[in-house]
Amino acid sequence: MTSPSAPNGPVFAAPHVAPPVGELRTAPPARRHRRPVGTWALLLSIVAGVLAPAVGGFAAYRVARGAAPGLASSTSTTFDWRILSPVRDLVLLAEVSFWTGTAIGITALVLGIVAIARRVGRGTGIAAVVVAALGPAVFTLLTAVAAVAGLATLGETVPVV
Protein backbone atom coordinates (compact mmCIF):
# COMPACT_ATOMS: atom_id res chain seq x y z
CA MET A 1 0.00 0.00 0.00
CA THR A 2 2.86 2.35 -0.33
CA SER A 3 3.19 4.79 -3.12
CA PRO A 4 6.40 5.62 -4.92
CA SER A 5 5.93 9.29 -4.00
CA ALA A 6 5.42 8.49 -0.29
CA PRO A 7 8.45 6.62 1.05
CA ASN A 8 7.08 6.23 4.59
CA GLY A 9 3.70 4.69 3.87
CA PRO A 10 0.29 5.08 2.22
CA VAL A 11 -1.04 8.49 1.13
CA PHE A 12 -4.29 9.67 2.79
CA ALA A 13 -6.17 12.97 2.73
CA ALA A 14 -5.63 15.38 5.61
CA PRO A 15 -7.87 14.62 8.59
CA HIS A 16 -10.82 16.96 9.31
CA VAL A 17 -10.23 19.32 12.18
CA ALA A 18 -13.38 20.72 13.86
CA PRO A 19 -13.36 24.44 14.71
CA PRO A 20 -12.84 25.26 18.37
CA VAL A 21 -15.95 25.43 20.54
CA GLY A 22 -17.36 28.94 20.96
CA GLU A 23 -15.73 30.39 17.86
CA LEU A 24 -18.13 32.19 15.52
CA ARG A 25 -17.92 31.24 11.92
CA THR A 26 -17.72 33.98 9.36
CA ALA A 27 -20.64 34.39 7.01
CA PRO A 28 -20.09 33.35 3.43
CA PRO A 29 -19.38 36.27 1.11
CA ALA A 30 -22.53 37.97 -0.13
CA ARG A 31 -23.56 36.87 -3.55
CA ARG A 32 -23.84 39.70 -6.04
CA HIS A 33 -27.26 39.81 -7.64
CA ARG A 34 -27.25 40.05 -11.37
CA ARG A 35 -30.72 41.63 -11.41
CA PRO A 36 -30.46 45.42 -11.32
CA VAL A 37 -33.78 45.99 -9.57
CA GLY A 38 -32.82 49.44 -8.34
CA THR A 39 -31.65 50.53 -11.78
CA TRP A 40 -34.90 49.42 -13.42
CA ALA A 41 -36.87 51.20 -10.73
CA LEU A 42 -34.92 54.42 -11.31
CA LEU A 43 -35.33 54.26 -15.09
CA LEU A 44 -39.07 53.66 -14.79
CA SER A 45 -39.46 56.45 -12.25
CA ILE A 46 -37.67 58.86 -14.60
CA VAL A 47 -40.06 57.89 -17.38
CA ALA A 48 -43.04 58.36 -15.05
CA GLY A 49 -41.75 61.52 -13.35
CA VAL A 50 -40.20 63.35 -16.29
CA LEU A 51 -41.34 61.98 -19.64
CA ALA A 52 -45.06 61.55 -18.87
CA PRO A 53 -45.37 65.09 -17.40
CA ALA A 54 -43.57 66.52 -20.43
CA VAL A 55 -46.02 64.84 -22.81
CA GLY A 56 -48.95 65.86 -20.60
CA GLY A 57 -47.72 69.45 -20.44
CA PHE A 58 -47.31 69.61 -24.20
CA ALA A 59 -50.84 68.26 -24.68
CA ALA A 60 -52.28 70.64 -22.07
CA TYR A 61 -50.66 73.62 -23.80
CA ARG A 62 -52.04 72.59 -27.18
CA VAL A 63 -55.51 71.87 -25.71
CA ALA A 64 -55.64 75.28 -24.05
CA ARG A 65 -54.53 77.00 -27.28
CA GLY A 66 -57.08 75.11 -29.36
CA ALA A 67 -59.96 75.55 -26.92
CA ALA A 68 -59.19 79.19 -26.04
CA PRO A 69 -61.52 80.70 -28.68
CA GLY A 70 -64.40 78.57 -27.40
CA LEU A 71 -63.60 79.51 -23.83
CA ALA A 72 -63.60 83.21 -24.72
CA SER A 73 -67.02 83.05 -26.34
CA SER A 74 -68.55 80.95 -23.57
CA THR A 75 -70.82 82.92 -21.22
CA SER A 76 -72.47 80.15 -19.23
CA THR A 77 -71.52 79.23 -15.69
CA THR A 78 -71.38 75.51 -16.49
CA PHE A 79 -68.60 74.07 -18.60
CA ASP A 80 -69.64 73.04 -22.09
CA TRP A 81 -67.57 69.97 -23.01
CA ARG A 82 -68.20 70.56 -26.71
CA ILE A 83 -65.55 73.28 -26.54
CA LEU A 84 -62.93 70.52 -26.40
CA SER A 85 -64.14 68.66 -29.50
CA PRO A 86 -61.71 70.40 -31.90
CA VAL A 87 -58.80 69.21 -29.75
CA ARG A 88 -60.17 65.82 -28.65
CA ASP A 89 -57.09 63.97 -29.92
CA LEU A 90 -54.85 66.14 -27.73
CA VAL A 91 -57.17 65.63 -24.75
CA LEU A 92 -56.80 61.90 -25.31
CA LEU A 93 -53.01 62.27 -25.49
CA ALA A 94 -53.01 64.12 -22.15
CA GLU A 95 -55.18 61.46 -20.54
CA VAL A 96 -53.11 58.59 -21.91
CA SER A 97 -49.91 60.22 -20.67
CA PHE A 98 -51.48 60.66 -17.23
CA TRP A 99 -52.60 57.04 -16.90
CA THR A 100 -49.40 55.65 -18.42
CA GLY A 101 -47.32 57.76 -16.05
CA THR A 102 -49.45 56.55 -13.15
CA ALA A 103 -49.02 52.87 -14.01
CA ILE A 104 -45.28 53.19 -14.66
CA GLY A 105 -44.84 55.30 -11.52
CA ILE A 106 -46.56 52.71 -9.32
CA THR A 107 -44.39 49.99 -10.86
CA ALA A 108 -41.27 52.07 -10.21
CA LEU A 109 -42.36 52.72 -6.63
CA VAL A 110 -42.88 49.01 -5.96
CA LEU A 111 -39.56 48.05 -7.59
CA GLY A 112 -37.78 50.76 -5.60
CA ILE A 113 -39.22 49.45 -2.35
CA VAL A 114 -38.21 45.90 -3.32
CA ALA A 115 -34.68 47.09 -4.11
CA ILE A 116 -34.43 48.83 -0.75
CA ALA A 117 -35.83 45.86 1.18
CA ARG A 118 -33.63 43.27 -0.56
CA ARG A 119 -30.58 45.55 -0.47
CA VAL A 120 -30.13 45.15 -4.21
CA GLY A 121 -29.34 48.56 -5.66
CA ARG A 122 -30.34 50.37 -2.49
CA GLY A 123 -29.17 53.85 -3.55
CA THR A 124 -30.90 53.75 -6.90
CA GLY A 125 -33.97 52.26 -5.22
CA ILE A 126 -34.16 55.21 -2.82
CA ALA A 127 -33.76 57.65 -5.71
CA ALA A 128 -36.48 55.80 -7.63
CA VAL A 129 -38.90 56.01 -4.71
CA VAL A 130 -38.28 59.75 -4.34
CA VAL A 131 -38.69 60.47 -8.07
CA ALA A 132 -41.78 58.24 -8.34
CA ALA A 133 -43.35 59.89 -5.28
CA LEU A 134 -42.75 63.38 -6.70
CA GLY A 135 -44.05 62.41 -10.16
CA PRO A 136 -47.74 63.28 -9.58
CA ALA A 137 -46.82 66.73 -8.23
CA VAL A 138 -44.53 67.37 -11.21
CA PHE A 139 -47.28 66.25 -13.61
CA THR A 140 -49.88 68.49 -11.98
CA LEU A 141 -47.59 71.52 -11.84
CA LEU A 142 -46.31 71.18 -15.40
CA THR A 143 -49.79 70.57 -16.81
CA ALA A 144 -51.23 73.59 -14.98
CA VAL A 145 -48.40 75.87 -16.11
CA ALA A 146 -48.72 74.65 -19.70
CA ALA A 147 -52.51 75.14 -19.69
CA VAL A 148 -52.15 78.70 -18.36
CA ALA A 149 -49.50 79.41 -20.98
CA GLY A 150 -51.81 78.07 -23.67
CA LEU A 151 -54.67 80.23 -22.43
CA ALA A 152 -52.36 83.25 -22.44
CA THR A 153 -52.25 82.98 -26.22
CA LEU A 154 -55.98 83.83 -26.36
CA GLY A 155 -55.41 87.02 -28.34
CA GLU A 156 -53.48 85.25 -31.08
CA THR A 157 -55.12 83.58 -34.03
CA VAL A 158 -54.42 79.88 -33.72
CA PRO A 159 -55.18 77.29 -36.37
CA VAL A 160 -56.78 74.23 -34.82
CA VAL A 161 -54.83 71.09 -35.61
Residue 39 has pLDDT above 70, yes or no: yes
Query: Tell me: the pLDDT tens digits for 123-135?
Result: 999 999 999 999 9
Task: Write b or e for each residue in 128-160: b if 16 or more Cβ atoms lie within 10 A of its Cβ, otherwise e.
Answer: bbebbeebbebbeebbeebbeebbeeeeeeeee
Q: What is the pLDDT of residue 141?
A: 96
Residue 66 neighbours by CB distance under 10 Å:
23
What's the pLDDT at 33? 60
pLDDT at residue 70, rounded to an integer: 73
Q: Does residue 4 carry a pLDDT above 60?
A: no
pLDDT in tens, 60-92: 999 999 887 777 666 667 777 788 888 999 999
Residue 137's pLDDT band (boundaries 50, 70, 90)? very high
Q: Is the pLDDT of residue 18 over 90?
A: no
Residue 159's pLDDT is: 61
